[in-house]
Every structure is written in C-alpha cells, then in structure tokens.
C-alpha cells in the first residue's frame, strides 16, 4: 500500500477521523449481537470496548488479571493532598473521546504550558538562556529533525553520532524524543517516529487534570461496565479451535465465549504469557517481535516547598531521570510534587536498585542542580513505580524499533483471527496514537467495530 493511502485508510480505520464524523449518529444501532464476548484486560482499551458493547446491549465480560482496573492508569491516594498518577497523567491533545469525557466530567483541564528547563553540566537554564550555546542549539535542531526524519533507517543514537553532536548535550534529544517514546536513543527507530508524528491527529497540547484522576473519569463514564469486570482473573490460555472459545485462567478454571477481544500489553504477548491454540499466525508473531516495549519507571517526589522556578514546565536533566515535571501545578498549594519518568536502558539500571536508594540518588542529582541539600531537605514523601516489575504490564509502552516496519506492523498486530479473536490496546493503534490513553481507547473502538462488522 502507498504510504499516502495507508495514512488515509488508517485515519478512518483507527477511529481518529471516524470518531468525530460518527458522533451525532449511533454507528452501532443495527448491529445487535447475541453472542458472548470476552474482553481480556481492564485498562483504557478494555474498558472503552466494554463501554461501546454496553451501548449495544451486548453480552460481555471483562477478565482482568490485576486486583484493580485501569492498567497503566493508576492514581495513588495519600502520597500528597491530591491523587498522584503513577502511570498515565497527561491527556495528549484535545481531539479525543478521553478529552471530551474529562470535560463532561467537570474536570479542570490544565494545559502544560510552563517554561522548560535544560540541564547542561551543573547549570539549569531555559531554551532562551541557552540560546547562545551552539551545542544546545544543535541538540534542539536535531530533536526537531528526528521527528520528521527521512532516509535510511537509523536510531536516534546513530543520528547524534553522525551529526557529531557532542556528549555534553546528547541527553537532550534523548530526553525529548527517546525517553518520551518509551526507550533509549540507541533502541528507537526514527522512521517509525517520523511516521507516527506525521499521522498524529489529536492536537499538540497536553493537559493535566486539575481536580481529579484520569481513572476517576473512566470510572464515571464506564459506571455500567465496571460490574462486568472480573478482577484477579489472569487468562493463561485462549483456545479458539472450536466454538465456543475456551478461556483458561491461572487456576485452570474454564470460561467460554464466542468472541474475544485481547487488550493486554504488547509485553505480555512478547512474553508468551497467554498461550493461543492454534498458535498465532507467523505474521502476527513477527509483528509482536517488531515493536518495542521495555522498562519504565515513574517517580513521584513530594516536597514541603517549591524550590524550582514558578511556572516551570519540564525539567530535562543529564542525570538518571531525563525528565521531571510539576505534577502539583494547579492541583495543590500545599503539596509540591515533581514527577520523573525514565525508560529504556536508564530505567533498567535503576530497576536493580531499591526504592530508597533510587530516591536518595535522585535527590542528590536535584541537589546538584538546585543547590546544596535543597531537594533532600525538602522531601516529605516519595514513591517509585517500576512498571517493568508489574507482572501483568511488564514495561512502559510500545515504541518503534529500527527496521520494525512502523505503522504497518502495528496494523498487522491489530488484525483479527478467524472472526473470533480481536486485538486492541495501545500497541495496536496504527494511526499514530500508540503509547497513549486515548490511543488505547481508539483501539478498543476499532476492535469493537471489527467485531460488529463480522456479525452483520
Ligand atoms: C509511567 C507511564 C506514564 C504514561 N503517561 C502517559 C500520559 O501522560 N498520557 C498518555 O496518554 N499515556 C501515558 N502512558 C501510556 C498509557 O498509560 C497507555 O498507553 C494506556 O494506558 C494503555 O492502555 P491499554 O488498555 O492498552 O493497556 P493497559 O492499561 O496495560 O491494560 C491492559 C490490562 O490487561 C491486563 N492483563 C495483562 N495480562 C492479562 C491476562 N493474562 N489476563 C487478564 N488481564 C491481563 C493488565 O493487568 C492491564 O490492566 C503512560 C504509561 C506509563 C507506563
């Protein structure tokens, strides 16, 4: 398929366009399905698939391995005086059902519009302040170019090498691009990045929710779905040889369904944590291998005072955590919370350490930036969330690997099998919104549409 045709087809198929066009009508009305549908996973994709099936009066059950719903959306109460997000926190763009739901729920949507700061050596300055530093300017230019890269496949690390970007500023593209995409500079395929950036259609602004958690928005909208979730039910085997499909859980108990929507993280498929009978087609197994997903750690540091500049957006560092942002901005006037996010090799290195050691080291690094002892002396509470160690998540989110085949690979991953097994979840989004909550929801919609199309 030509790239232009693929993009056009993709925008329609992933719901990125169809979503808006279809909103006034009910696209599902004539497609009532009487069979039993099983959804595996109660993250954003699974819950939204349930929501759409609920609208249809369809029979469905959601099986969730963990003891709570939400998957990679997990608010934590009690750490600060607002719910601190240990997973997804920002609504990426304003053109999505997630954004609309947040608005409808009365959440205050706070654009993340502060000033960004960049560390080079021990100095922390804004882009304007670093403007006379030619190395910094090259690092920023290269970050921009990486987003629209064309040519032979390369990693971000190779691009930095070939442009002779000096080491004192290499952490900047690494933080702005690779860490944001969920990995390290040497693991990120830039053709996949450019393709993703070109097709992104949700809008460029990011929003924090001022007065509530992301999960509470989903819970409110999916009120009638939640009773259909069976928690602590890890599905280990899906046998779709005959009808009905047999689902076997970790206790070897069997459940039956006519159709299954699998929404588990890519890493769960990569680890073969679910055994499919018959086995998945070779094309899908190749797709599973050709998309990346690796370590990811989020750290929330709660302080009793603000020692960073007012109106700080992100703080990009050369330390163990490439990016921090102010999670408490607009949410609290008495808790001051910096959230840090690290993925890829750096997250793997931290993952071997205890939370106490990680926190001590991060405080030391912040002390170097903000002055002797400042961060250490102001800390009141902290939490390290290692997503790679979560048994049913096993990583951060999916990213394009070098020569991975880009969005076409994600489309292959999303393909249903025998009109029985459907695939959703952020990694299956082939319209540029992988690695996001709204993308996961759109993938849930796509899978439900495929399923309903098969039964009319
Ligand atoms: C630290 C971090 C920060 C992020 N920040 C943002 C952000 O700011 N904005 C944004 O838009 N996105 C962000 N993301 C990405 C976003 O969280 C995900 O893209 C999205 O939540 C994925 O939803 P999902 O439904 O595809 O998968 P998941 O949320 O992972 O849901 C899958 C579910 O399947 C369950 N499961 C796994 N195996 C089984 C099994 N065998 N049987 C039954 N159930 C099973 C899991 O427990 C899980 O609940 C972030 C992710 C991380 C990790």
User: What is the best residue among 437, 445, 447 to mutate for testing ligand 1's pocket, by most ligand atoms within 8 Å of CB?
Assistant: 437
Q: Which residues of 205-226 are buried (b: 16+ CB within 10 A; e: fewer)?
A: ebbbbeebbbbbbbbebbeebe
What pLDDT, in 10s, does the model give residues 381-415? 999 999 999 999 999 999 999 999 999 999 999 99
Check whether 433 has a pLDDT greater than 80: yes
Whole-number pLDDT of residue 220: 98
pLDDT computed for residue 26 by the predictor: 58
DSSP state of 119: E
Class of domain 75-114+293-389: alpha beta
Q: Are 69 and 42 in contact (CB under 8 A)?
A: yes
**pLDDT at residue 28, as a whole number:** 56
Give the Å distances, CA to CA, from 294 to 130, 146, 297, 346: 32, 21, 10, 11
Average pLDDT for residues 299-326, to the nearest whole number?
97
Is there an atom of ligand 1 within 6 Å of 222 CB? no
The SS3 call for residue 1 is coil
10 confidence band (pLDDT: 50, 70, 90)? low
The per-residue pLDDT for 20 is 33
Whether 429 lines ligand 1, by a CB cut-off of 6 Å, is no
Does pLDDT of 178 surpass 90? yes
Q: How confident is the model at residue 35 (pLDDT cuts 50, 70, 90)?
A: very high
Residue 38 has pLDDT above 60, yes or no: yes
* The predicted structure's pLDDT at residue 32: 77
Work out the percent of the chain whose per-residue pLDDT is above 90. Answer: 92
CATH topology of domain 3-70+214-292+398-455: FAD/NAD(P)-binding domain (3.50.50)
Output the CA 43–ligand 1 centroid distance in Å. Answer: 6
Residue 385 alpha carbon, nearest atom of ligand 1: 1
* Same fold? 3-70+214-292+398-455, 75-114+293-389: no
| Tens digit of each residue's pLDDT (9 = 90 or more) over 52-88 | 999 999 999 999 999 999 999 999 999 999 999 999 9
Residue 311: asked if its preceding bond is cis (omega within 30°), the reply is: no
Interface predicted TM-score (ipTM): 1.00
Q: What is the pLDDT of residue 321?
A: 98
Q: pLDDT (tens digit, 9 = 90+) per residue, 197-206?
A: 999 999 999 9
Mean pLDDT (whole number) for 22-50: 80
- Could you give the angle at the alpha carbon of 380 between the alpha carbons of 375 and 386, nearest 5°? 85
Q: Is the CB of 45 under 6 A from ligand 1?
A: yes
Contact 387 CB / ligand 1 (< 6 Å): yes
Domain boundaries, the chain: 3-70+214-292+398-455, 75-114+293-389, 131-199
Of residues 336, 348, 95, 72, the one with CA closest to residue 206: 95
User: What separation in Å is there between the alpha carbon of 98 and the centre of ligand 1?
Assistant: 15
Record the tokens describing residue 272, joined without a space: 């073969």
Residue 437 beta carbon below 6 angstroms from any ligand 1 atom = yes
Provide the pLDDT for residue 21.
Answer: 35
66: Cβ below 6 Å to ligand 1? yes
Residue 13: per-residue pLDDT: 54
* 422: helix, strand or coil: strand
Mean pLDDT rounded to a whole number for the chain:
94
Percent of the chain surpassing pLDDT 70:
93
Q: What is the pLDDT of residues 246-267, one digit of tens each?
A: 999 999 999 999 999 999 999 9
Q: Which residue has the higher pLDDT, 126 or 30?
A: 126
Residue 401 is predicted with a pLDDT of 98
Residue 24 pLDDT > 60:
no
pLDDT tens readout for residues 99-152: 999 999 999 999 998 999 999 999 999 999 999 999 999 999 999 999 999 999
Angstrom distance (rounded) from CA 152 to CA 190: 9
pLDDT in tens, 224-248: 999 999 999 999 999 999 999 999 9
pLDDT at position 17 over 50: no
Q: Is the pLDDT of residue 350 over 50?
A: yes
Summarize the confidence of residues 26-53 as an average pLDDT: 88
Residue 29: pLDDT band (50, 70, 90) is low
- Ligand 1 proximity of 234 Cβ (cutoff 6 Å): yes
């Amino acid at each position: 398929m030509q790239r232009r045709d693929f993009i056009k087809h993709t925008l329609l198929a992933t719901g990125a366009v169809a979503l808006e066009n279809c909103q006034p009508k009910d696209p599902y009305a004539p497609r009532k399905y009487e069979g039993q549908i099983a959804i595996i996973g109660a993250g954003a994709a699974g819950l939204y698939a349930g929501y759409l099936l609920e609208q249809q009066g369809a029979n469905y059950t959601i099986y969730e391995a963990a003891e709570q719903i939400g998957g990679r959306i997990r608010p934590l109460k009690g750490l600060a005086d607002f719910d601190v997000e240990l997973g997804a926190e920002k609504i990426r763009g304003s053109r999505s059902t997630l954004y609309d739901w947040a608005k409808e729920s009365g959440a205050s949507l706070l654009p993340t519009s502060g000033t960004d700061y960049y560390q080079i050596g021990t100095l922390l300055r804004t882009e304007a302040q670093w403007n006379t530093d030619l190395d910094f300017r090259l690092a920023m230019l290269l970050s921009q170019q990486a987003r629209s890269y064309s040519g032979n496949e390369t990693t971000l690390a190779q691009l930095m090498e070939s442009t002779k970007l000096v080491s004192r500023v290499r952490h900047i593209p690494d933080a702005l691009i690779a860490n944001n995409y969920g990995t390290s500079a040497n693991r990120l395929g830039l053709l996949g990045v450019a393709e993703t950036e070109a097709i992104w259609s949700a809008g460029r602004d990011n929003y924090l929710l001022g007065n509530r958690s992301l999960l509470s928005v989903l819970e409110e909208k999916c009120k009638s779905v939640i009773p259909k979730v069976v928690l602590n039910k890890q599905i280990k085997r899906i046998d779709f040889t005959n009808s009905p499909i047999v689902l076997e859980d970790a206790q070897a108990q069997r459940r039956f369904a006519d159709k299954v929507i699998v929404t588990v993280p890519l890493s769960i498929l990569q680890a073969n944590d679910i055994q499919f009978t018959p086995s998945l087609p070779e094309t899908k197994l190749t797709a599973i291998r050709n998309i990346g997903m690796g370590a990811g750690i989020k750290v929330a540091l709660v302080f009793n005072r603000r020692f960073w500049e007012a109106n700080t957006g992100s703080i990009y560092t050369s330390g163990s955590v490439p990016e921090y942002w102010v999670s408490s901005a607009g949410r609290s006037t008495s808790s001051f919370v910096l959230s840090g996010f690290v993925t890829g090799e750096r997250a793997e290195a931290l993952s071997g350490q205890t939370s106490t050691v990680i926190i001590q080291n991060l405080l030391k690094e912040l002390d170097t930036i903000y002055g002797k002892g400042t961060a250490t002396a102001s800390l009141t509470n902290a939490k390290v969330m290692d997503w790679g160690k979560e048994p049913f998540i096993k990583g951060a989110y999916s990213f394009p690997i070098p020569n991975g085949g880009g969005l076409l690979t994600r489309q292959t991953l999303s393909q249903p099998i025998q009109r029985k097994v459907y695939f959703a979840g952020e990694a299956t989004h082939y319209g540029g919104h992988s690695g996001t909550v709204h993308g996961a929801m759109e993938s849930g919609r796509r899978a439900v549409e495929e399923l309903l199309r098969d039964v009319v």
